[in-house]
Every structure is written in structure tokens, then in C-alpha cells.
């Protein structure tokens, strides 16, 4: 039997392109943690920070990223299990994430689906929100060409093309719980890669 104690020592971070399924999976993971494991959990979604902070002022992306990543750290510090719905569509977001959370235990999950399903989801989302200014095909092409999954290693990957959010959440949590208590994950590999490429330096880590 796997101890619930392993639930409290990591942040579950979902990264994926638009309409990959993150916003449906994150609250489902939170629900299962609370109801089945009786642990405190919160979700943090990048879209909420976009809506509140926007991008109309200088350094707005860096500002938004710092606010979001500080909130993740604060929730982790008080013992909450943090489920993060993120999308690293810009290197600024990813570098900020690594700089602010490099010493925290992250369970890094790649969330993806095939192009046909993603486009159908984008059309449905735009219709429900009455959004017409962006074509789904343009958004998909932007995300595919961008740095969302570039030079990133993951602890786990889930294809949501034909998987319900509740099933995806179960698969993620089962893998998460099966990891050793002191599993470090791929976070340090990702940090080392980015620091070497962008800063020509080796990062330092807190002892664990």
C-alpha cells in the first residue's frame, strides 16, 4: 500500500498547449486528492493571472509569472498540495518558473492531444465564449512552433485525445504516488539544461 504521505511533498505541474485538457484535469486531480486522500489541495491556473494582470504594461509577462510562481511557493510552504495548470508558451515564463521554484519538488506532467481533437476543442471553447478573433488553426500552429515542450523533460506524459479528465487524473496520481518518497524528478535536469544554454552557468540547489 502506498502511503498518502507521498502526496504532500510535491507540486503537480501540468504543462501543455491550448485545449490539451489541463483546465479539466487540474480540478479533477484536486478533487480526488481531497476526497480520496483527505489532503488539502489547491489549483493555480495561468489563465486567472492573465485575466487579472493582463499584458498592457512594461514587463507584464515577467510580473505575471512572478506573481503566479510566488503563489505556488506560498501554498506549498503551508502544506497545501498545489496542482498547477500552466503553459510555457514563452521562455520568459519557463525561466521565471525555474528561477523561483528550482528548490521545490515538482512532479512535471506533459499534457497533450492530437491536432484534430485540439482544433475541435478550440472551436467549442471559442463558440462558448463568443470569441472570434483567433482562428483555431492559427493558435495550434503558434503553439506547435513555440517552446511549450521544447527542451523539457517530464516525469509523466498523458495523451488526452480520447481520455476523460477523471481518467487522466487517476493515471497522473497513480504514477505520482508510485514514485519513491525522495524522488527528485526531472526538475534539476531541466534547470541545468536551461541555465547552461541561456546563462552559460551551472545552477546551485538546496540540499534535500
Residue range 105-109: average pLDDT?
91
What is the share, in percent, of the chain residues with pLDDT greater than 90? 42
The whole-angstrom separation of Cα 18 and Cα 46 is 12
CA 134 to chain centre: 23
pLDDT at 19 over 80: yes
Cell of 85: 495548470
| pLDDT at residue number 111 | 96
pLDDT confidence tier of residue 204, bands split at 50, 70 and 90: very low
pLDDT confidence tier of residue 52, bands split at 50, 70 and 90: confident
Q: Work out the number of other CB atoms within 10 angstroms of the CB of residue 125.
A: 15
The whole-angstrom separation of Cα 93 and Cα 65 is 6
The chain-wide mean pLDDT, for the chain, equals 81
CA angle centred on 91, ends 63 and 19, rounded to 5°: 90
| pLDDT at residue number 205 | 38
Pairwise pLDDT comparison (6 vs 80), residue with the higher score: 80
Q: Which domains are assigned to the chain? A: 4-199 (3.40.50.300)
pLDDT digits (tens, 9 = 90+) for 55-97: 565 668 888 999 999 999 999 999 999 999 999 988 889 989 9
pLDDT at 129 over 90: no
- State pTM to two decimals: 0.83
Amino acid at each position: 500500500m502506498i502511503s498518502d504521505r507521498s502526496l504532500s511533498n510535491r507540486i503537480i505541474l501540468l504543462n501543455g498547449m491550448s485545449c490539451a485538457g489541463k483546465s479539466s484535469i487540474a480540478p479533477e486531480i484536486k478533487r480526488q486528492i481531497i476526497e480520496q486522500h483527505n489532503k488539502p489541495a489547491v489549483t493555480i491556473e495561468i489563465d486567472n493571472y492573465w485575466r487579472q494582470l493582463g499584458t498592457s504594461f512594461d514587463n507584464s509577462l515577467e510580473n505575471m509569472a512572478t506573481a503566479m510562481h510566488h503563489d505556488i511557493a506560498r501554498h506549498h510552504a503551508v502544506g497545501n498540495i498545489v496542482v498547477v495548470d500552466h503553459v510555457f508558451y514563452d521562455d520568459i515564463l519557463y525561466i521565471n518558473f525555474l528561477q523561483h521554484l528550482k528548490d521545490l519538488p515538482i512532479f512535471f506532467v506533459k499534457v497533450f492531444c492530437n491536432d484534430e481533437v485540439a482544433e475541435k476543442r478550440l472551436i467549442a471553447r471559442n463558440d462558448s465564449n463568443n470569441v472570434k478573433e483567433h482562428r483555431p488553426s492559427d493558435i495550434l500552429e503558434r503553439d506547435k512552433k513555440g517552446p511549450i515542450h521544447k527542451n523539457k523533460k517530464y516525469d509523466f506524459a498523458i495523451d488526452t485525445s480520447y481520455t476523460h479528465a477523471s481518467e487522466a487524473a487517476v493515471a497522473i496520481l497513480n504514477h505520482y504516488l508510485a514514485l519513491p518518497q525522495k524522488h527528485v524528478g526531472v526538475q534539476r535536469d531541466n534547470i541545468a539544461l536551461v541555465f547552461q544554454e541561456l546563462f552559460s552557468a551551472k545552477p546551485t540547489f538546496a540540499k534535500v
